[in-house]
Amino acid sequence: MGPGDRTTGEPAIIILTVAARHYASKQGIAEDVETLDLGSDCAVGDLVSLVKAGTRHDFAVIRRRWIAGGTGITLELTLDHPAQA
């Protein structure tokens, strides 16, 4: 079984690209996006939408990375903006 087949039970670490961070910061939603409770079932190409104050902000999962360390395995998801449908 590879890391991609595992469920850690922990939320993934969310990383934003420079463009996504710029957009999220400008919109005042960077902290909200970075603390999304996304799990290991997210795949590259998935769209992630955050609705705040009636406005939908779309991001795309562009990379998955498993990080193995002394405390176990953690999934890192990189989000980009604008999301390409």
> pLDDT by residue (tens digit) across 11-40?
899 999 999 999 999 999 999 999 999 999
Split into its structural domains, the chain has a count of: 1
The residue with tokens 């400008």 is: 26
Residue type for 10, please?
E
Task: Using the predicted structure, report yes or no on whether residue 82 has a pLDDT greater than 70.
Answer: yes
Task: Using the predicted structure, report yes or no on whether residue 3 has a pLDDT greater than 60.
Answer: no
Q: What pLDDT score does 2 carry?
A: 42
- Does any domain span residue 54? yes
- Does any domain span residue 76? yes
- Tens of pLDDT, residues 51-77: 999 999 999 999 999 999 888 899 999
- Does any domain span residue 12? no
Q: What is the DSSP string of 25-73?
A: HHHT-HHHHHT----TT--TT-EEEEEETTEEEEEEEEEEEEEEETTEE
Cβ proximity of 33 and 14 under 8 Å: yes
Range of the domain at 58: 43-85
- Does any domain span residue 31? no
- Does any domain span residue 53? yes
